[in-house]
Every structure is written in C-alpha cells, then in structure tokens.
Amino acid sequence: MPAPIRLRELIRTIRTARTQAEEREMIQKEFIVEFGTNAIHSLSEYNHFYSSMIQPVKSDLNHSTQYVQGLALCTLGCMGSSEMCRDLAGEVEKLLKTSNSYLRKKAALCAVHVIRKVPELMEMFLPATKNLLSEKNHGVLHTSVVLLTEMCERSPDMLSHFRKLVPQLVRILKNLIMSGYSPEHDVSGISDPFLQVRILRLLRILGKGDDDSSEAMNDILAQVATNTETSKNVGNAILYETVLTIMDIKSESGLRVLAINILGRFLLNNDKNIRYVALTSLLKTVQTDHNAVQRHRSTIDKVTREKALSFALVNGNNIRGMMKELLYFLDSCDPDFKADCASGIFLAAEKYAPSKRWHIDTIMRVLTTAGSYVRDDSVPNLIQLITNSVEMHAYTVQRLYKALLDDISQQPLVQVASWCIGEYGDLLVSGQCEEEEPIQVSEDEVLDVLEGLLVSNLSTPVTRGYSLTAIMKLSTRFSSMNRIKKVVSIYGSSIDVELQQRAVEYNALFKKYDHMRPALLERMPIMEKTATNGPAEIVQTNGETDSTILDTKHLPSITQPASQANDLLDLLGGNDVVPVIQITVPTKPASAGGELLDLLGDLSLTGGPTPTPAPSVTLSQHPFLLDGLASQPLFNDIAPGIPPMTAYNKNGLKIEFTFERANPNPNIAVITIHATNSTEADMTEFVFQAAVPKTFQLQLLSPSSNVVPALNQGSVTQVIRVLNPQKQQLRMRVKLTYTHKGSPVQDLAEVNNFPPQSWQ
C-alpha cells in the first residue's frame, strides 16, 4: 500500500481516539507497525523519537507527497533530538533549496531547530541561504529571516557575511510599507506585520556597531517610525521593534529623538501593555544611552516625569525584573529624581517583595547607591521593615555593618545601620548569619564603629543621636559595659543639647534605674503600620515568633478575662469598680518601657472580655521608643519623695509598690510592683490583677515574667498606671493567683495604705 493511504488510515484511526493519550499511543503503535522497526520498548516523550525513527522520517522527507514531507519536517523541527538532527540535516538542507515554497518555509525553520540543537552544523546551511530573500512567498521570507537571524546571532562570521543583505532587507521592508492593500497579509491595515517585525530585528543585529549598515537603514527606520498606524496593537508592535532597533544601532541623533518620542507617547497610551513595554525599554535606554538621552533633556524630562507610572505598573510578577531596571535608573538618573525614585522603589519593594531577603537587599542597594538622596521619612519606615523581618535580622545587621565600614557619609544609611547595630549587635558579634558567610567582628570593633560615628564630622546631630542610643542598647547585649558607661558619661557634657540630654538620661539608667535598664533596652517587638506613609503604631506582640501577627491587632491569648472581671466586680461590691483586664501573655517588657510614653487617650480600659491590645502608641515625631524617651524625659519629674510601700505580704509572697509620676500629666501615677518570693519553691503562673474605684482608670501592663523565683532570687515587675483626675484617695483591690509546690493558690487583698503623695 502506498504510503499516503497508510497515512490516511493512520489519521482516521487517530481521529477515533478519544483522548490525547490514546492518540499518542496510536501514533506510536502505527509507527512501529507501519514503518517496520525493531522492538521498541516505549516512546517516551522525553526522548521524543528514538534513533530507529530516523529512517522512516528520512524516507518521509523524501516522499513524493508534500504533505508527508511537511509532516516529517514538522516532526523534526519541533521535537527532533540532536542525534536525529545530525542524521537528517542533509535532507533538510536539500529541501531548503526546493522551489516548493510550502516545503521550503518548513525546511528553513527545521534548519533553525537543527542549528539550535547542533550548532556545528550551521555551516552546511550557508550555501542554501543564498537566494532565500529573493522569494516572493511571505512564508518563505519570514522563515528565512528567522534562519538568518539565528545564524547571525550565533556566529560573528556569519554576521559579517550577511551584512551585505541589508539593502535587500531594506527593500523588502519598504515594499511592505509602500505597497497597497494586500488582503492576504493584511492585519488592520498593515501589511504582514510579522515579517516587518522580523526584518526589523534582523536589521538591528546587522546594524549594531556597524556605521555603514546603520546608515543604510536610517531612512527606512524613520519611515516606519513615522508612517505606522498606532491605533491598534499591531502598529505599536512594529513601532516597538523599530524603537529597539534605532536604539541599538548607530543611528543619527534625529532618529534617536524620534525613538524616544515614540516611547514617550507609549507611556501615555491607554493600553497598559504598551505602557509596560515602553517603560522596560525606556529604562534600558536610559541606562545604556545616558549621554544621548541627556542631549534631549527637554523630551526626557517629560518622559521621566511619567516614570511615576512605572511604579504603578510594577506588580508582583514583574517586580524582580522591574526592580533591576529601576535600580539602574536610580544609579544613573539626575539627582533631582533620585529622591522620588528611591521612595518609589521602597514603596514598590514593600508591596511586592517576593522574599524578605530580596527586600532587604533592595533596600541596601538603594541606601548604598543613593543613600544621601533618600528621604528622611524613609528611615523610620525602613527600620520598621527590618524589625518586622525577624528571620533576616542577622543578615541585615551584617550587611549594614559592612556598608558602614565602607562609607559613613550617607546619613540615612548610617542611621538605619546604627539603629540595627544597636538592636541586633549581639547577632552580629555572635556570627549567626545564615544567609551569607558570617563575618568575625568583636564587640570592641562594633563599638569603635559606633563611636566613630559620634565623633565624625560627616555625622549630623540626628545621626549622632542614633549612634549614642545604639551604643546604649548594646549595654544589655554586649558584655563590655564599662566602655559603654564611659562613652555615655562623656557625652553627658556634650555641647549638643540633644546628645547631652540623652547621655544624662542613659547615665541615670545605669546608676539609679539599673533594674529597669534591661527591660527598657530589650528587643523591639514587631510594629504594625496603619498606612505606608503614616505614623507607626506599636502593637505589642510576641515579637520573635510570628510575623503574621501583624495582621491581627488582637493578642493571641486572652484566657481568663471574663470570669476574673466578674469576680472582682463581685468583690468590690458591684458598681463602684472598674475591673481591669489582665493581659496574660507574658510579652517582653520592652513594651513596658514604650508604653510609658502613652498618651492619655488609651487609658480607658474598661471591664469586659474585649481582648484589648496593648496600648497603641501613636508616634508623632520620634518613632523610636528610646528616642521618644529622650524627648519626653521620663525621669525628670520623679517624685523622690514618694516612698515605696508594701502592698501585700503573705505566705512568702511580698509585693512592693514603687511610684513615679509620668510627665507631663500629673494625674497619672505610675506604680511598679515588685513581687518577690521568700519560700523555697518557685511561684509559677503568677498573675497579678487589680481593680480600682470607678473614678479612677487603671492600666495594667505586661509583667516581666510569670514566675517568681524562690528564695528572693529575683522579682517579677509589672507596671500599673492610674489616672486619677479627681484626685481622690487611691485604693485598690488586688487578686493574686499562682501555683506553688504543685497546687494553685489564690488570694485577694485590699491595698489602702497608699502614700498621699501618690494621688495628691
């Protein structure tokens, strides 16, 4: 039976196949049966066609029916393995010279595939390319241009050889543009846009770096650029290719301006696809062609103002690519634009960062390259970001430290770096970095760097403030306390008032309030943001565990509020008491320090089981707890006259109250409870609750822990804030629960012996 009938049978049986798998099976089976080969175990798609298929395909390539030949070429061109390509290249080459355009075009693309698979075979196709461009048939022309492009891209020799084709290509392109309506190739009024684009691309490769070729194509490029209809996507596709070509070859300046203008118009196009391609090419252009672009400043200014669009177009999927372009742009653009660009980059990075590490790296890149142009408000935002990227702390601090070693002139970078070193200096010194090779750095080296910032002329006062605070924080993270104490005391007499004030307060921390120092200088909890550019709200969370906590403003576990509130209500005779919700999650007392800043609005914690979050601190000027401490000195108005008192002392548990007044509001009394345990067993699950009369408002902050160690080895501290606007006598009911020696203990007591100064 002649082959075509066999093939028809094959096609018929295939058509009866219900699934693609069945179809494939049939094809495989038919090949085995019809074309008589040796035993073949299976035809896996990965291997495509076994070498034993070569003979049948070869014979098909020589078949009398063009249809069969076409199928064979298609098979080879789509899926041929390198072995197959090697064996059949000769047949392909023969078919490349045939006058049958149906086969010739397929052979050309087959040749492309062969070259991609077996590049060494490229040479053998060279003779056959001789007359390819003289064809009238568009299919052959198109595929020939593809073949020529492939060859030129792969071999500089081929490239120089084919440069002579430029005039011919120009002619073909011209004919396409100038010729009238050709129904066969028309797409929305444009004649064969696919071929036009392919020719433009080949011209780009041929004209690159070559003056003569570039000159030869100048006119046609200008013509295409000005005459192409832009109302539809197809026209814009051609213009896009044209612009790319103009920018890549040695075109004259007039042509370049034309190209940039086209891009500029693209940026204003309603179609977002057009805007997207315009931005990607524009950024590439500005990167590589800065000088040429500079010469046409007025055009570019308008265009770069449109750059704001680029940040709108960035999305989760193109962020990596776009960011590379944007960072290049940042490097090379005018200083006027750098601040905007940097802010935009931060915004985009924040919204679409694919990973925390990428985000940190991007920030680092901006800080190190355009650090002095970064806006001031970026610094707190960045710091917040870094705080929230818990797992990246070690990596971040290491990179920032290294950056500081290189350059301390860029203030935003220095500020962020100092802050991080202050927070995560311990990670830095312990060499814990996972993301990259941890560096060896000692505590002294770190302190050297920070002290260097203090004395450097390059540092602004704000920066100095950051460094001093960072040094102070390290007093709880490093062991070299003496050095830190010395630095802090030196700056107590600094001329800079801000520094002086901080130093004095920090000194006080060392001397009088050492017990509070660890609590105050503890790690920052994760911060939650209300809006990207808005003030940061600090929500108390268990910082180290889970950054998804950001999403919830509620604390994870409020276990006992309801019942206990009721208990207390009962106790205090019903209505004259406002019970307080005890926050049972023992979170880091860092927040205790922070909340001391709290503004009045947040004091109204009334009864009921609402899981109240830790009081949110709305930061106005200084987003940092300790900075805030500095500007609102907490300890200035300590009333040294208020003596501490013992509120409770029973069964080995002693609770002492110490008093401070929170400036500026004299109606707020701040009481710190200290619970100590003189028995031989620890008191665990220790919970302190308090209730005050209705005219008062009470706020209970988190305790330092819920274990009161035995034998007075330590204490649990907790801060209570009482608002007493009517200046009534303070009295309080307390409820204590804990587990001692395995059994739960509960006690209630009244505290009435408050010293008068605490509420007057």
Sequence-ordered strand ranges (E) for 381-492: none
- Which listed residue (53, 96, 216, 277) binds another protein by CB under 8 A? 277
Q: Closest by alpha carbon to 399, among 441, 456, 458, 455?
A: 441
Instruction: Please list the residues that pair with 750 across neighbouring strands.
Output: 733
* Cβ-based burial of 571 (10 A; exposed 0-12, middle 13-18, buried ≥19): middle
Rounded to 5 degrees, what angle do the CA atoms 92, 94, 99 make?
A: 110
Instruction: Indicate the length of the chain as a whole number.
Output: 760
- Segment interacting with another protein, rule: CB under 8 A, options 41-49, 434-442, 734-742, 750-758: 41-49
Q: Classify residue 438 as left (phi > 0), alpha (psi -120 to 50) or beta.
A: beta
Sequence-ordered strand ranges (E) for 519-626: 528-529, 536-538, 577-579, 617-618
Contacts of 343 (CB under 8 A, 6+ apart): 374, 375, 378
- Which listed residue (33, 40, 74, 268) binds another protein by CB under 8 A? 74
List % helix, strand, coil for the chain (3-state, nearest 5).
60, 10, 30
Parallel, antiparallel or unpaired: strands 190-191 and 528-529: unpaired
- Segment interacting with another protein, rule: CB under 8 A, options 91-99, 189-197, 459-467, 652-660: 189-197
Is residue 8 close enough to count as binding another protein by CB under 8 A?
A: yes
Residue with smaller CB distance to another protein, 89 or 499: 89
Is residue 4 close enough to count as binding another protein by CB under 8 A?
A: yes
At 141, which amino acid appears? L
Is residue 119 close enough to count as binding another protein by CB under 8 A?
A: no
* Cβ-based burial of 46 (10 A; exposed 0-12, middle 13-18, buried ≥19): exposed
Contacts of 496 (CB under 8 A, 6+ apart): 461, 464
Is residue 275 close enough to count as binding another protein by CB under 8 A?
A: yes
How far is residue 76's CA from residue 110's CA, in Å, rounded to a whole number? 7
What mask of x and - would describe binding to another protein in positions 190 to 219, judged by CB under 8 A? --xxxx-x---x------------------
Is residue 118 close enough to count as binding another protein by CB under 8 A?
A: no
- Which listed residue (97, 163, 174, 320) binds another protein by CB under 8 A? 320
Is residue 265 close enough to count as binding another protein by CB under 8 A?
A: no
685 neighbors 737 (Cβ within 8 angstroms) = yes
Closest distance to another protein from the beta carbon of 138 (Å): 5
How far is residue 373's CA from residue 375's CA, in Å, rounded to a whole number? 6
Closest distance to another protein from the beta carbon of 171 (Å): 18
Closest distance to another protein from the beta carbon of 599 (Å): 40
CA 402 to centroid of chain Cα atoms: 21
Is residue 113 close enough to count as binding another protein by CB under 8 A?
A: yes
Write out the two tokens for 700. Answer: 């209970």
What mask of x and - would describe binding to another protein in positions 450 to 479, judged by CB under 8 A? ------------------------------
Residue with smaller CB distance to another protein, 5 or 531: 5
Residue with smaller CB distance to another protein, 197 or 330: 197
- Segment interacting with another protein, rule: CB under 8 A, options 99-107, 124-132, 480-488, 630-638: 99-107
At 24, which amino acid appears? R
Q: Using CB under 8 A, which residues numbered 146 to 175 contact another protein?
A: 146
Is residue 22 close enough to count as binding another protein by CB under 8 A?
A: no
How far is residue 578's CA from residue 604's CA, in Å, rounded to a whole number? 10
Closest distance to another protein from the beta carbon of 197 (Å): 5
- Segment interacting with another protein, rule: CB under 8 A, options 255-263, 269-277, 407-415, 582-590: 269-277
Cα dihedral sign, 469-527-405-457: negative
Closest distance to another protein from the beta carbon of 629 (Å): 45
Closest distance to another protein from the beta carbon of 2 (Å): 8
* Cβ-based burial of 61 (10 A; exposed 0-12, middle 13-18, buried ≥19): buried
Rounded to 5 degrees, what angle do the CA atoms 39, 44, 50 make?
A: 50
Question: Total residues at the site for another protein (CB under 8 A)?
Answer: 65
Cα dihedral sign, 750-751-753-756: negative
- Which listed residue (164, 171, 272, 650) binds another protein by CB under 8 A? 272
Residue with smaller CB distance to another protein, 325 or 443: 325
Cα dihedral sign, 367-369-372-378: negative
Is residue 310 close enough to count as binding another protein by CB under 8 A?
A: no
623 neighbors 538 (Cβ within 8 angstroms) = no
Closest distance to another protein from the beta carbon of 9 (Å): 6
Q: Using CB under 8 A, which residues numbered 125 to 144 contact another protein?
A: 138-139, 142-143
Closest distance to another protein from the beta carbon of 60 (Å): 15
Neighbours of 171 (CB within 10 A): 12
List helix spans (H) across 440-582: 443-455, 461-474, 481-490, 497-511, 517-520, 561-571
Is residue 315 close enough to count as binding another protein by CB under 8 A?
A: yes
Residue with smaller CB distance to another protein, 277 or 625: 277
Is residue 400 close enough to count as binding another protein by CB under 8 A?
A: no
Is residue 274 close enough to count as binding another protein by CB under 8 A?
A: yes
How far is residue 160's CA from residue 218's CA, in Å, rounded to a whole number? 19
Q: Using CB under 8 A, which residues numbered 53 to 72 contact another protein?
A: 67, 70
Residue with smaller CB distance to another protein, 242 or 475: 242
- Which listed residue (151, 237, 257, 625) binds another protein by CB under 8 A? 237
Closest distance to another protein from the beta carbon of 286 (Å): 19
Neighbours of 478 (CB within 10 A): 19
How far is residue 445's CA from residue 18's CA, in Å, rounded to a whole number? 74
How far is residue 470's CA from residue 479's CA, in Å, rounded to a whole number? 15
Closest distance to another protein from the beta carbon of 342 (Å): 23
Is residue 257 close enough to count as binding another protein by CB under 8 A?
A: no
Closest distance to another protein from the beta carbon of 612 (Å): 37
How far is residue 524's CA from residue 629's CA, in Å, rounded to a whole number? 14
Is residue 184 close enough to count as binding another protein by CB under 8 A?
A: yes
* Cβ-based burial of 250 (10 A; exposed 0-12, middle 13-18, buried ≥19): middle
Q: Using CB under 8 A, which residues numbered 351 to 370 contact another protein?
A: none
Is residue 420 close enough to count as binding another protein by CB under 8 A?
A: no
- Which listed residue (57, 73, 503, 734) binds another protein by CB under 8 A? 73
How far is residue 320's CA from residue 146's CA, in Å, rounded to a whole number? 30
Is residue 41 close enough to count as binding another protein by CB under 8 A?
A: no
At 357, which amino acid appears? R
* Residue at token pair 């400043």: 297
- Which listed residue (33, 40, 79, 268) binds another protein by CB under 8 A? 79
At 158, which amino acid appears? M
Parallel, antiparallel or unpaired: strands 668-677 and 645-650: unpaired
Residue with smaller CB distance to another protein, 48 or 517: 48
Closest distance to another protein from the beta carbon of 188 (Å): 9
- Segment interacting with another protein, rule: CB under 8 A, options 107-115, 457-465, 611-619, 714-722: 107-115
- Segment interacting with another protein, rule: CB under 8 A, options 3-11, 208-216, 368-376, 520-528: 3-11
Is residue 313 close enough to count as binding another protein by CB under 8 A?
A: yes
Is residue 241 close enough to count as binding another protein by CB under 8 A?
A: yes
The residues of the shown chain that bind another protein, judged by CB under 8 A, are: 4-5, 7-9, 11-12, 14-15, 17, 20, 23, 44-46, 48, 67, 70, 73-74, 77-79, 81, 102, 105-106, 109-110, 112-113, 138-139, 142-143, 146, 184-185, 187, 192-195, 197, 201, 233-234, 236-238, 240-241, 244, 272-277, 313, 315, 317-318, 320-321
